Chains A and B, each alone.
Chain A
Amino acid sequence: GENVEQHPSTLSVQEGDSAVIKCTYSDSASNYFPWYKQELGKRPQLIIDIRSNVGEKKDQRIAVTLNKTAKHFSLHITETQPEDSAVYFCAAENTGNQFYFGTGTSLTVIP
């Protein structure tokens, strides 16, 4: 099956700085890679996603990059704000429509 690894597990940045979270996956046939934000006690919510035929996607301060050859994808948050503090999860969907999640990154933005 698929194996998704996520780093770092914790990340602290100053407000206004950028944050980068990286994930790798093992199944080269995986073809969809969403990122979720989860605030304490809440459900995961999709913030951005990328498909395997695209190398980069951007939505305002959030961007995701995908390197299919190296089997890794990254989340980039620019101009971080305190409300960006949360746990972020990457995921990979395989051809069987099953999602495999990374173990999460706890992001703290220091005002």
Chain B
Amino acid sequence: NAGVTQTPKFQVLKTGQSMTLQCAQDMNHEYMSWYRQDPGMGLRLIHYSVGAGITDQGEVPNGYNVSRSTTEDFPLRLLSAAPSQTSVYFCASRLAGGPHNEQFFGPGTRLTVL
């Protein structure tokens, strides 16, 4: 049971490049989310999904796309990277069966946009 996994761990992009951050979980969790963490700002929700085929915007969705074709995977796409997207990105998942189930985080991806 690997829990929540993310790849890559580190990435450097040039302004305007696109890339996909991968997230996978093997716990059969319905809910998955993407957060970004910036110094002094805590974690902010980018996009989330309550199940395969369903996604919704969070607090800071601009510049990012997501899709959820399977229960296990929830990739985050940066369409045209900007320096303001330099951040640490965390994926998280949890069960949907109860109202307040623990959210499990992946190890994070540190992204730098030059």
Contacts and interface: CB of A to CB of B under 8 A. Distances in A.
A1 B59 contact: yes
B33 interface: yes
B108 A43 contact: yes
B52 interface: no
B107 A43 contact: yes
A73 to B, nearest CB: 14
Contact of A99 (B40, B41, B103, B108): B103
Interface stretch (B15-23, B43-51, B68-76, B79-87): B43-51
Interface string A39-60: 0001111100101000000000
A31 B100 contact: yes
Nearest to A93: B100
Interface string A82-103: 0000000101010001111111
Contacts of A31: 99-100
Contacts of A44: 43, 90, 105
Most chain A C-beta atoms within 10 Å of own C-beta, residue among B33, B43, B58, B107: B43
B83 to A, nearest CB: 22
A93 B100 CA distance: 9
B26 interface: no
Interface of A: 1, 4, 6, 9, 31-32, 34, 42-46, 49, 51, 89, 91, 93, 97-104
30 contacts: A6-B42, A31-B100, A32-B99, A32-B100, A34-B102, A43-B105, A43-B108, A44-B90, A46-B102, A46-B103, A51-B99, A51-B100, A89-B43, A91-B43, A97-B31, A97-B48, A97-B50, A98-B45, A98-B58, A99-B33, A99-B103, A100-B45, A100-B59, A101-B35, A101-B42, A102-B42, A103-B40, A103-B41, A104-B40, A104-B42
